[in-house]
Homo-oligomer: A and B are copies of this chain.
Amino acid sequence: MKKISRRKFNQSFLKGVGIASVATTLPAACAAGIGATDGKKLGVALVGLGGYSAGQLAPALQDTNHCYLAGIVTGTPEKEKIWADKYNIPKENIYNYENFDTIVKNNSIDIVYVVLPNSMHADFCIRAARAGKHVICEKPMAMNVEECDAIIAACKKAKVKLGMGYRLQSEPYTQEVKRMVREKTFGDIRYITAEAGYFSASNPNQWRLNKALSGGGALVNMGVYAIQSAIYGTGENPVSVSAQEFSTRPEYFKETDESIAAQFEFPRGIVGNIFTSHNVNVNSMYVGASKGWFELRPANSYGPLSGRRSDGTEIKFSHESQQKLQMDDFAQHIKEGTVNRAPGEMGKRDMIIVEAIYRSIREGGKKIPLDLGRMGIV
């Protein structure tokens, strides 16, 4: 992922090539043909060829059963040939940020996966929807709730499917957590803690440190995993949150949060205690219930995950690429109408929580009420 080109693009985006004005000259999507693939693999175009696309998504899309890597969209011209050669991508399926909207004419692309810096999510998700493509948006969904609404509205209008890149929603440990919660394997849940973070020091120029690109620090990058764990680990949305920010390297994290703790209250009194950080490797979730407990450690890495329960049972599944599972789940959702495991509303809900956490921090740790109902719970 080439930093400068991204920043350059983003700056032009921030200067006014905004959501409302982008792609307005494009025709509304014709979604009729999409999904009617008669069992064929759906074509996926990755937008943004940074570390996650190169290291995780592209390899995973070589193993998927219901979709495949059909195209790329990159702001770095020198990546075009490298990717074309490596993944056998035809020239007509290669786009840059400027000509991206012409993807509307390309019938071999069914799904656009936006893997760009956070500030570019809304723009490209909306443009993809307007081009009639189903959309997967990497987390966090956008810079704020307003942008999430715009993405959701655009996909609704274009009658395309919208999914979040919440890979864990498709992998078996998380499914097992959801099963134990649903079936009350250990009785009533009373407490959940979740941690998601890593030590970040290698690259002071990384885009995540730039708030105009990232929208936030540890919370939007890793904290969303902890938020997700708190919700699928209880089966409920929180009704309030309080939060605190911690800083040890202000010279490095000039604009973005380094570490954040947040406390949730859930409807029936479950307490949630989450922590996220760009200063320490943490990766776990623990659920305390009336008849026992279970935990995953790690809980949100690319895997293999690992878990144990208070009855001595190990939680163990054979490992498959989470990205592969996620992509196939989304493709099947399109092709076969299976459940969308990570719909746009889930991303929006998490952004509402993110905004409440930042607000609590600004207000000195004050408890912020949340009125989410069952939003985003699948």
Interface size bucket, A side?
A: 35 or more
Task: Kindly identify which residue among B191, B242, B277 contacts A282, using a CB–CB cutoff of 8 Å.
Answer: B191
Q: Is the CB of A279 within 8 A of B190?
A: yes
Q: How far apart are the CA atoms of A277 and B273 in the complex, in Å?
A: 13
Provide the A277-298 mask, 1 if CB < 8 A to any CB of B, else 0: 1011110101011100100000
Selected interface stretch from A29-37, A89-97, A261-269, A337-345: A261-269
Beyond A195-B193, A366-B365, whether A246 also contacts B275 by CB under 8 A is: no
Question: Closest Cβ of chain B: how far from A326's Cβ, in Å?
Answer: 27
Q: Is the CB of B261 within 8 A of A246?
A: no
Q: Is the CB of B261 within 8 A of A273?
A: yes
Interface residue? A271 (CB, 8 A): yes
**Assembly of this chain: how many copies?**
2
Q: How far apart are the CA atoms of A281 and B248 in the complex, in Å?
A: 32
Interface residue? A6 (CB, 8 A): no
Q: Is the CB of B199 within 8 A of A290?
A: yes
In chain A between 250 and 265, which residues have their CB closer than 8 angstroms to a CB of chain B?
259, 261, 263, 265
Q: Is the CB of B259 within 8 A of A271?
A: yes
Interface residue? A208 (CB, 8 A): no
Question: Closest Cβ of chain B: how far from A356's Cβ, in Å?
Answer: 14
Q: Is the CB of B271 within 8 A of A273?
A: no
Interface residue? A348 (CB, 8 A): no
Residues of B within 8 A of A246 (CB): 263, 265, 269, 271
Interface residue? A244 (CB, 8 A): yes
Interface residue? A367 (CB, 8 A): yes
Q: How far apart are the CA atoms of A259 and B280 in the complex, in Å?
A: 26
Residues of B within 8 A of A265 (CB): 246
Interface residue? A364 (CB, 8 A): yes
Q: How far apart are the CA atoms of A282 and B289 in the complex, in Å?
A: 9
Which chain B residue lies CB-closest to A310? B281
Which chain B residue lies CB-closest to A195? B193
Task: Kindly identify which residue among B248, B261, B284 contacts A263, using a CB–CB cutoff of 8 Å.
Answer: B261
Residues of B within 8 A of A247 (CB): 269
Residues of B within 8 A of A263 (CB): 244, 246, 261
Beyond A263-B261, A290-B199, A365-B367, whether A248 also contacts B273 by CB under 8 A is: no
User: Would you give 29 A-B contacts (Cβ < 8 Å), ordered by A?
Assistant: A190-B248, A190-B279, A190-B280, A191-B259, A191-B277, A191-B282, A193-B193, A193-B195, A199-B290, A242-B365, A244-B367, A246-B263, A246-B271, A247-B269, A259-B271, A261-B263, A261-B271, A271-B275, A271-B280, A273-B273, A273-B275, A280-B289, A281-B293, A282-B293, A284-B286, A364-B366, A365-B365, A365-B366, A365-B367
